[in-house]
Amino acid sequence: MRYVGNIFRPPSEADSLLLQTTIGCSHNRCTFCAMYRDKQFRVRRLEDVLEDITTARDEYGPDVRRVFLCDGNALILPTPHLLRILTTLEQSFPDLQRVGVYANARDLVSKPIEELKELVGHRLSQFYLGLESGSDAILKQIDKGATADEMVAGVRHGMSAGMKSSVIFLLGLGGRKHWRENAIESARAVSQMNPNYLSALTVTVVPGTPLARQLKSGEFELPEPAEFAAELRLFLEQVDVKATVFRSNHASNYVPLEGRLPKDKERMVAELTEAIKHHRFKPEYMRGL
């Protein structure tokens, strides 16, 4: 397999074949994100992608069941282009169950529902969307390039085509000043999305990013572990979803949590209260990006 630059995938795609179909992120401006800063966004040549599928079939055999399309937002590819990739994957891997992709709100709503359904019919059935925050003021501050309502519309559009949604939001993006707003507005947006999966990650300031410069100048203040936990607790108290698998056990999180919402809400709120009370947080040296 050939890859250009660093490759990223969601934790739940750990066992997937990683197939690079685009290079970089078409937005590439979020102030906290360093994932694709070294890459100029471009579409990878279709012939190269198809050749990589042949290589994967030769190397791993026909039993691949899951594939993740890298990089940042491969759903931007035109539908016929995606269908060529998906049908080649289906022919090469007869037991293929699921293809996943990162998507942004614009990618999702720009595809008519019938096109999305056709993609789902060819196994492209899981998308991951970074909400980051449900506050439009914070989204503007981090240069997300979309409003909360646009992202709600994108997620609902994808789900109405039969895709499974996995939404990520970032604790601490409002800094110490706006943590309540980040929690309450994110809970509001997530409640409207009602995603299948939800992950709460903790913001980590990566050197060289605009957020690192804002931290240095004092424009952004990183919350303390107890403040991150209080933010997550407020989020959980406010969020109102019907059946969502929730995870906050990423390497970046100070208090690892996992459960189903709404069923496990009270238990997770109590675990956060205990962590705050006894100051039980993952030490910094154990945290990762």
Question: Considering the complex, what minimum distance in angstroms separates the CB of residue 144 from ligand SF4?
Answer: 7
Query: Which residue lies nearer to ligand SF4 by CB, 33 or 159?
Result: 33
Query: Which residue lies nearer to ligand SF4 by CB, 23 or 25?
Result: 25
For ligand SF4, the binding residues in 117-146 under the rule CB under 6 A are: 130
Q: Select from 154, 190, 175, 210 the least CA-distant residue to 265.
A: 190
Query: Which residue lies nearer to ligand SF4 by CB, 131 or 261?
Result: 131
- For residues 270 and 289, what is the distance between their CA atoms, to the nearest angstrom? 26
> Is residue 25 part of the contact set for ligand SF4 (CB under 6 A)?
yes
Query: Which residue lies nearer to ligand SF4 by CB, 198 or 268?
Result: 198
- For residues 96 and 244, what is the distance between their CA atoms, to the nearest angstrom? 25
Note the Cα 274 to chain centre separation in Å. 28
Question: Considering the complex, what minimum distance in angstroms separates the CB of residue 130 from ligand SF4?
Answer: 5
Query: Which residue lies nearer to ligand SF4 by CB, 74 or 230?
Result: 74
Query: Which residue lies nearer to ligand SF4 by CB, 39 or 156?
Result: 39
- For residues 36 and 243, what is the distance between their CA atoms, to the nearest angstrom? 33
Question: Considering the complex, what minimum distance in angstroms separates the CB of residue 27 from ligand SF4?
Answer: 4
Residue 119 in contact with residue 80, Cβ under 8 Å?
no
Q: What binding mask, one character per residue, do residues 28-47 give for ligand SF4 by CB under 6 A, x or -?
A: xxx--x-xx-----------
> Is residue 101 part of the contact set for ligand SF4 (CB under 6 A)?
no
One-letter amino acid at 188 equals R
Write the CA distances from 262 to 188, 208, 241, 259, integer angstroms: 14, 39, 6, 9
Q: What distance, in Å, lies between the first and last C-alpha atoms of the chain?
A: 25
Give the three-class secondary structure for 95.
coil
Rule CB under 6 A: choose which of 72, 158, 174, 225 binds ligand SF4.
Answer: 72
> Is residue 172 part of the contact set for ligand SF4 (CB under 6 A)?
no
Q: Per-residue DSSP letters for 138-173? A: HHHHTT-SS-HHHHHHHHHHHHHTT-EEEEEEEETT
Question: Considering the complex, what minimum distance in angstroms separates the CB of residue 139 from ligand SF4?
Answer: 11
Question: Considering the complex, what minimum distance in angstroms separates the CB of residue 90 from ligand SF4?
Answer: 27
Rule CB under 6 A: choose which of 27, 66, 106, 157 binds ligand SF4.
Answer: 27
- Biggest CA pair distance of the chain: 57
Q: Select from 73, 90, 78 the least CA-distant residue to 46.
A: 78
Query: Which residue lies nearer to ligand SF4 by CB, 27 or 123?
Result: 27
Relative orientation angle of helices 113-121 and 79-92, to the nearest 10 degrees: 10
| Positions that interact with ligand SF4 (CB under 6 A) | 25, 27-30, 33, 35-36, 72, 104, 130
